[in-house]
Amino acid sequence: MNLTDKKVKLGILLPTRGLLLKGEQPVNMERIFELTETVEKAGLDSVWVGDSLVAKPRMEPLSVLGALAARTTRVRLGTAVLLPALRHPVLLAQTLNTVDLISGGRLVIGAGVGGVFNDDQKREWAAAGVASKGRGRRFEEIIEIVQGLGLGKPFDFHGRNFNLDSPLMRPVPANDEGIPFLLATHYRAKSQAQIRRAARLGAGIISISDTPDEYAQVIQKVNETASELGRDPSSMEKAFHITVNMDCDLKKAEADAVEWLTGYYGSDIWGTRWGPFGGPERVADRIAEYVKAGVGTVVVRFASFHPEEQLEIFLEQVAPAYA
């Protein structure tokens, strides 16, 4: 089975947090490597990792992607999503450009502002020494700085949060167009700032909890705004992050997913917006709904303590429909 020539790009979110939820910490990253190698051999488009410091502890995403870059030759390597506002932009630019160079230009960065919806998230900003207030503006400045430092020439920037006097960054991204940033853009946020930010700065957009109909409306708004700004909206990648658990026993799939999601977030925060759970045909049908809505890249996360089994089912019973 080879899925290189497909109607939609399929990616897998690797369990860099999931492996830490139950039992002892793994002694190494071998399971992550093996999952990634399986994805690459199957011909899928990409592997992705999430981000958090202390709110949802996990392996540091860019270190992981650097390691995966050295173990793979074809798959794109992405974050879903990175939280740039927790980092300093110059150090972030150097790290991103280095990982991109190691991978030969395969890095793609899904990026979000980050929330303060609960005490764990508030403690995360405090632990990073970053004020959560004004994080949206900080996020935009960081994206602009990272992109500017990737141009290969001295870059000046004077903003509300950062001031740079012509630093020259090396290395630069492997591709002339730079590292693509897919900016988190959600229907339920009801944020025109998100829409405009993505249309102005993003190589595309990414979301996680919207329904297909909701995300279609987000895509339309981003496309319209990008056109107003003189950009070609068809050049922008539209990605969606779907959370599934596949088992023909629906109750078993739901129980496994809820236990996993509760451990991951501390509670089942979005209820029925996750899923689908159950037989693989339900997952294939749901992906088809997102593709019809305009999604070009589907990032699949397994809400399961058995990601290897889930990946096997996905490759055998879901992915071939999109070959």
Instruction: Output the domain CATH number for residue 31.
Output: 3.20.20.30
Which of 121, 58, 112, 57 is CA-nearest to residue 85?
Answer: 112
Confidence of residue 267 (pLDDT cuts 50, 70, 90): confident
Confidence of residue 268 (pLDDT cuts 50, 70, 90): confident
Domain-located, residue 204: no
- Tokens linked to 317: 């019973």
Q: Give residue-wise pLDDT tens across range 115-159.
A: 999 999 999 999 999 999 999 999 999 999 999 999 999 999 999
Domain-located, residue 31: yes
Q: What is the predicted pLDDT for the residue at 258?
A: 93
CA pseudo-torsion sign 209, 211, 216, 217: negative
Q: Give residue-wise pLDDT tens across range 194-253.
A: 999 999 999 999 999 999 999 999 999 999 999 999 999 999 999 999 999 999 999 999
Residue 6 has pLDDT above 50, yes or no: no
Distance (Å) of CA 28 to CA 57, 66, 190, 301, 311: 16, 15, 41, 21, 20
**CA separation for the pair 294, 292 (Å, rounded):** 5
Residue 60 and residue 2 share a domain: no
Residue 167 and residue 50 share a domain: yes
Task: List, in order, residues 6 or more apart from 28 with CB less than 8 Å away.
Answer: none
Domain-located, residue 148: yes
**CA separation for the pair 80, 301 (Å, rounded):** 10
Q: Regarding predicted confidence, which is higher, 220 or 23?
A: 220
Residue 168 and residue 271 share a domain: no
Q: What is the predicted pLDDT for the residue at 5?
A: 41
Which of 158, 179, 200 corresponds to the end of one domain? 179
Residue 53 and residue 162 share a domain: yes
Q: With beta carbons less than 8 A apart as the criterion, state whether 218 and 207 touch.
A: yes
Residue 27 phi, psi (nearest 5): -80, -15
Domain-located, residue 115: yes
Residue 125 and residue 28 share a domain: no
Q: Give residue-wise pLDDT tens across range 38-80.
A: 999 999 999 999 999 999 999 999 999 999 999 999 999 999 9
Residue 295 has pLDDT above 80, yes or no: yes
Domain-located, residue 210: no
Residue 62 and residue 37 share a domain: no
Residue 66 and residue 4 share a domain: no
Confidence of residue 29 (pLDDT cuts 50, 70, 90): very high
The distance from CA 184 to its chain's CA centroid, rounded to whole angstroms, is 9
**CA separation for the pair 197, 243 (Å, rounded):** 26
Domain-located, residue 276: yes
Q: Quick one: which H or E segment has residue 298?
A: strand 297-302
Q: What is the predicted pLDDT for the residue at 110?
A: 98
**CA separation for the pair 12, 15 (Å, rounded):** 9
**CA separation for the pair 58, 247 (Å, rounded):** 26
Residue 280 and residue 155 share a domain: no
Q: How many domains does the chain have?
A: 2
Q: With beta carbons less than 8 A apart as the criterion, state whether 101 and 174 touch.
A: yes
Which of 77, 10, 7 is CA-nearest to residue 43?
Answer: 10
Which of 155, 179, 203 corresponds to the end of one domain? 179
Which of 166, 92, 94 is CA-nearest to residue 130?
Answer: 92
Domain-located, residue 217: no
The distance from CA 281 to its chain's CA centroid, rounded to whole angstroms, is 24
Q: What is the mean pLDDT of residues 97-118?
A: 97
Residue 60 and residue 33 share a domain: no
Q: What is the predicted pLDDT for the residue at 1?
A: 41
Residue 124 and residue 24 share a domain: no
Strands 9-13, 46-49: pairing kind: parallel
> What percent of the chain has a predicted confidence (pLDDT) above 90?
93
Residue 166 zone, left/alpha/beta (φ > 0; ψ -120 to 50; rest): left
Domain-located, residue 205: no
Range of the structural domain that residue 148 is part of = 46-179
Q: Regarding predicted confidence, which is higher, 101 or 1?
A: 101
Q: Mean pLDDT for the chain?
A: 95
Residue 4 has pLDDT above 80, yes or no: no
**CA separation for the pair 103, 187 (Å, rounded):** 33
Q: Give residue-wise pLDDT tens across range 296-315.
A: 999 999 999 999 999 999 99
